[in-house]
Structure 1
Amino acid sequence: MTSRVLKDTAAKVGGLLWGTDETAGSAAPEAGQSPVPAELVIHVARLGERRVPFLHREHADGVVARWSEDWPDHIAEVEEWDRWRWEQQGPRGAGAIRDRAPERVVVFHARALFLPGGERVATGVPEQWSVPAWEFETDRYTERASAWRTARRPGTAQEVEAQVRGTDEVAVEAAFVEACAQAVDRAQNPGKYGDTDEW
């Protein structure tokens, strides 16, 4: 969210509440001063251990309602904070306050492990799964249809891992085939990928 958006929103709210005068429109905020009015209530969506602040109550309510459906065993509620409290205690201060509803996607994942000879390892966990992710969940959100990587895991087992994630299930499945093929090759030919330096 840009400073300009915050400033415009603050000006509109202030004008509706207090009216305007000629000097108010020409005054620029002081350096370091938040464009969000001090008296403004911040609607904070508490989602498990994460707190996400919104200017508008309906956006916070919408996220909390959907989060409750996705993760029924986790805390999901809306808290009301004043701006000062959020700037002092909230992560990333006023710059984190959102004035729009965030994007939500379903992210598809695939993962497989291979031994040095190329044999696939049974891990006892699903090789493919999907989870909902919001744009503020930077650890699991993505806009890409698919992306994959392989890596040799540290430790004496020398396992090679193939990982894929993306928003398009068909693209993820196709990428998983590619990732597994490279993982097998990497497991069988570690020098080709520079892995021998890690042994």
Structure 2
Amino acid sequence: MPFLHREHADEVVARWSEDWPDHTAQVEECDRWRWEHQSPGGGSAICDRVPGRAEVFHARALFLPGGERVATELPEQWSVPAWDFETDRYTSRASAWRTARRPGSGQEVEAKVRGTDKDSVEAAFAEACAQAVDRARNLGKYGDTDDW
């Protein structure tokens, strides 16, 4: 990730290393012309500030057809620090949730929640689980099949 100012890169690397001690990060000097003319995004990819960072809370549950909750190897709830360039983990919303029927023969329904406010995530998790149970019990209700 290119930074306009060296001190911004140093700060991100230091904080990243605190958050993820088992993942290496380092500052590498690079010619600005090269970034502007040869990298994806060109000059617009160069950051002129320290990216946003938040503690993002996650919750996840899995349900079988019929609504029975399944134990998984992953924890039900957890949190991680996330930078705004980590789009798969970062959010600035207090909470957001979704349910989805997993593809394949098992037809499990997954409830996922993430957000920056722990209480909002817990409340949204209850809603997501309720919808996931309903979705698991009612195969065609949410458009999960062409047979209805």
TM-score tier by shorter-chain length is: over 0.9
- In the other structure, the counterpart of 2:97 is 148
2-structure distance, mates of 1:196, 1:80: 53
- Is 1:184 aligned to 2:133, yes or no? yes
- In the other structure, the counterpart of 1:121 is 70
2-structure distance, mates of 1:146, 1:111: 13
Percent of aligned pairs sharing the same letter: 80
Asked whether the equivalents of residues 56 and 116 of structure 2 are also in contact (C-alpha less than 8 Å), the reply is yes
**Runs of 4+ that moved beyond 2 A:** 87-91
Asked whether the equivalents of residues 37 and 43 of structure 2 are also in contact (C-alpha less than 8 Å), the reply is no
Asked whether the equivalents of residues 19 and 81 of structure 2 are also in contact (C-alpha less than 8 Å), the reply is yes
Which residue identity does 2:81 align to in structure 1? P
- In the other structure, the counterpart of 1:159 is 108
Indicate which of 58, 61, 72 corresponds to 1:112.
61
Indicate which of 15, 18, 37 corresponds to 1:66.
15
1:34-82 CA-partner distances (Å, limit 9, x unpaired): xxxxxxxxxxxxxxxxxx1111111111100000001111121111111
Q: TM-score, normalised by structure 2?
A: 0.94
1:68-125 CA-partner distances (Å, limit 9, x unpaired): 0011111211111111222344332211111111110011110100010100011121
Which residue identity does 2:128 align to in structure 1? A
- Is 1:92 aligned to 2:41, yes or no? yes
Unmatched 5+ stretches in structure 1: 1-51
Shift of 1:139: 2.0
The count of aligned residue pairs is 148
Q: CA RMSD in A?
A: 1.5
